[in-house]
Amino acid sequence: MSNMDTIFNKNFWISQWENDKKNDTFNVHKGFSTPEYWDKAAPTYNQNKDEVKNRRLEKTVLFLKQSNLLFKGMKVLDIGCGTGMLAIELAKHGAKVTALDFSKGMLEKFRQDITPDIKNNISVFYEDWHKIDIESKGWEKNFDLVIAFMSPGVASPEAFFKMMQCSKNGCAIRGWAAKRTHPILSDLWKKIMKTPLEDKPQSILYKINLLFSLGIFPEITFDEIEWDKTSRVKEEFEQQMAFFNKVSKKSYLELEEIIYPYIESLSENNYIKRHHKGLTATAVWKVDAAMVLNQ
């Protein structure tokens, strides 16, 4: 098989995606894959205008409209909806949104922001996408648009194909497309894991190349994002504990003895300030569910 044939071979990209689980990149993202982590992270979300601006809601809505994937009365499935900012925005444009997440903390914050005018347009479910049986739910080819933005829910080929099987028209994903700055996480990773942090972009690039191999060519945009986030010492400590409890073999007490003093050393008046910076990629495409099912 030639190099060109390999690049456009579905199994090649599935294999590359699976092999990623053998290195530090996957180990990093594994820490972000638990409900416990996101429950602890929820209180620190949607705190300031810069953070909200970085969600690029207006640009996303325009992108979907230009792709004829946003119209009144359409049915949307939002996988890993988080605090629901995008789901709420789509509901304001007349979409009927089914939103799910495996974090109770994120969903609690989401529900607080649903206003009476869009209440009937949003259905919120506490569900883990990996465990959902889409056939029994009647979700196959059931939605005009299926989205997964910054979601660990579609971090495997199986979950990604299942996402596309739910669409009868189009899909959209967003994820990190380049290495991010992680000052606190990087320092703690060295202290706990005894190696430098290697947080390279994970599955968004595999997803895009996998689409190419299926003969699907998405519209892709990139956004540089940057904002400051503030959290209490207790919030930051619990969030980092949830992360390293997943990726490290150390006991809770061992982690506590490393993480708490470090977090406290960074605090000022019981608060931690973090600067976030990174590059995201958004891909939007029309999907032929029958073709995906037959792959």
Number of structural domains (the chain) is: 1
* 274/245 Cα distance (integer angstroms): 21
Please report which residue ranges of 100-251 form alpha helices under DSSP H.
Answer: 104-112, 134-137, 157-165, 183-193, 203-213, 233-247
Q: Is residue 238 part of a domain?
A: no
Please check whether residue 115 lies inside any domain of the structure: yes
**Residue 175: CA atoms inside 13 Å, Cβ hemisphere, count?**
22
Alpha-carbon gap, residue 36 to 39, rounded angstroms: 5
Strand partners, 282: 174, 221
Q: What six digits make up the tokens of 278? A: 């990174």
Sign of the alpha-carbon dihedral angle for 176, 179, 184, 190: positive
Tokens at residue 29, please?
Answer: 């993202």
By the 10 Å C-beta count (0-12 exposed, 13-18 middle, 19+ buried), 28 is classed as: buried
100 contacts: CB under 8 Å, gap ≥ 6: 77, 78, 79, 80, 81, 124, 125, 126, 127, 129, 132
Token pair listed for 98: 């089914």
- Tokens at 233, concatenated: 């010492």
Do the beta carbons of residue 140 and residue 289 sit within 8 Å?
Answer: yes
240 domain residue, yes or no:
no
- Whether residue 246 is contained in a domain is answered as no
> What single DSSP character describes residue 268?
B
The verdict on residue 11 lying in a domain is yes
Domain span at 85: 3-181+200-229+278-293
Place of tokens 């006991």: 251
Helices (H) and strands (E) in the chain, counts: 15, 7
CATH number, domain with residue 117? 3.40.50.150
Q: Is residue 99 part of a domain?
A: yes
Q: How does DSSP classify residue 224?
A: E
pLDDT tens-place values along the chain, 295 residues long: 455 566 778 999 999 888 877 776 666 778 888 999 999 988 888 765 554 555 578 889 998 998 899 999 999 999 999 999 999 999 999 999 999 999 999 999 999 999 999 999 999 999 999 999 999 999 999 999 999 999 989 988 999 999 999 999 999 999 988 877 788 999 999 999 999 888 766 678 899 999 999 999 999 999 988 878 889 999 999 999 999 999 999 999 999 999 999 999 999 999 998 887 888 999 999 986 445 544 4
Q: Does 247 fall in a domain?
A: no
Closest CA to 118 of 137, 100, 99: 99
- Which of 171, 15, 34 shows the shortest CA–CA distance to 163? 171
Assess if residue 286 is contained within a domain.
yes
pTM reported for the whole predicted model: 0.89
Paired strand residues for 122: 97
- Asked if 284 contacts 172 with a C-beta cutoff of 8 angstroms, the reply is yes
Q: Which residues contact 211 (CB under 8 A, 6 or more apart)?
A: 217, 218, 283, 285
